[in-house]
Amino acid sequence: MTKKRKTTSSKRSRKKQAKFTPGAILLLLLIVGILFLGSWFKWFQVDWEAMLEGDFEHAILKPPVVVEPVSGEWYQLYFTSPQYPDDERTRVYTLIDGLVAAINNAQRTIDIAIYEFDLDQIADALIAARSRGVQVRLVTDSDELDQLDTLIRLKKERFPIVPDERGAIMHNKFAVIDGAAVWTGSWNFTPNDTFRNNNNAILIQSPELAKNYTTEFEEMFVRHEFGPTSPANTPYPKIQLGDTLIETCFAPEDDCSDRLVELVQGAQHSITFMAFSFTDVAIGQAVSERGRAGVAVRGIFETRGSETEFSEFAQMKRQNLDVRQDGNPYTLHHKVFIIDNQVVTLGSFNFSDNANRANDENMLIIHNPDIAAEFLAEFDRNYTLAQNAIQ
């Protein structure tokens, strides 16, 4: 019996040694490597077409930095989370989800003034809202009405849609829900603006602010008063929400450029901006003057158009102001100023003569350091990617 036990023990020892032969070790390493690569590819994902073409820089699709919505007592603030190259597998839907939720909560009315509209998720929500008895009305730019599939779909569904029918553009991107809440910002309802471009949107609960935007909407929808024909008749140009002052400015009737110049001229410590288009000379001069006076200036320009003779980028660069061209290979679409880390301007209003004198635009001026801090964080995210192209 003892010999049998020894023999059994010896066999077991030989079996254990057999498990660690070079072939077994190699197989084990191969399995571990496959598991590691599987988790690596699951996280980063691979664009095999780019890989096969030798474009290794863009073959690895890193997940986008997801910017979560921020909520306050009376607002929800959203930023897009673009990625390059765009990949449907890792897209971030926070803005779509936010607006769809607001539409789904509507009980009576939804008024939308939108430059570009090509997202089926929002169209589906509007169709569902109408089916439960909500009145839905839309205003858009005539050049887009018959070009974008979603607008064509809503038109076929017999939604009331009023185009501006003129040369300048209806450039607004706002919605009014139940006469109680306003959605606005730089965000068009398109895949490009949602998944590729840098954008912002804010939903504000305020019947007074909603009255301002409903008044502007009905000028266009009911009376067909667009651009310079639109009267300056905002019911509540300034409203107070707790400790926050909010100013409403519609272009061209309210001369938003002049108000922005006043804000810039009043800056004591810092001027920070993100600009899709910045060709307004008066605003540019105001920024430069405050920079020469010692106010810290930081700015990001959308690269496209920033090197033209009309852009304010080159002259600010010559004055050694800290301005950069954006680093998003798609588009930086913000239209934002942050003054003294306390005041934020946002909306559809580009810093251009067309925006101020011809287009239909809106701009909010929000005096709130918490909201300013969120926009500064968005600026910093883009600043790290920006590039100094003109020295």
Torsion of CA 191, 63, 332, 302, to 10 degrees: -130
pTM recorded for the entire structure: 0.85
Q: Rounded to an integer, what distance in angstroms lies between the CA atom of residue 13 and that of residue 227?
A: 90
Identify the three-state secondary structure at position 157: coil
pLDDT in tens, 18-58: 445 776 667 667 665 555 544 444 444 455 555 555 554 44
- The pLDDT value recorded for residue 65 is 84
pLDDT in tens, 259-304: 999 999 999 999 999 999 999 999 999 999 999 999 999 999 999 9
Strand order in the sheet with 322-325: 238-241, 244-251, 361-367, 343-347, 335-339, 270-275, 296-301, 322-325
Q: Rounded to an integer, what distance in angstroms lies between the CA atom of residue 148 and that of residue 28?
A: 55
- The pLDDT value recorded for residue 13 is 43
Q: What domains lie within the chain, and their CATH numbers?
A: 21-62 (no CATH), 70-383 (3.30.870.10)
Contact between 81 and 107 under an 8 Å Cβ cutoff? The reply is no
Give me the long-range contacts of 161-167 (CB less than 8 A, separation at least 24): 162/137, 162/138, 162/220, 162/221, 162/224, 163/139, 164/139, 164/140, 164/220, 164/226, 164/227, 164/360, 165/224, 166/142, 166/226, 166/227
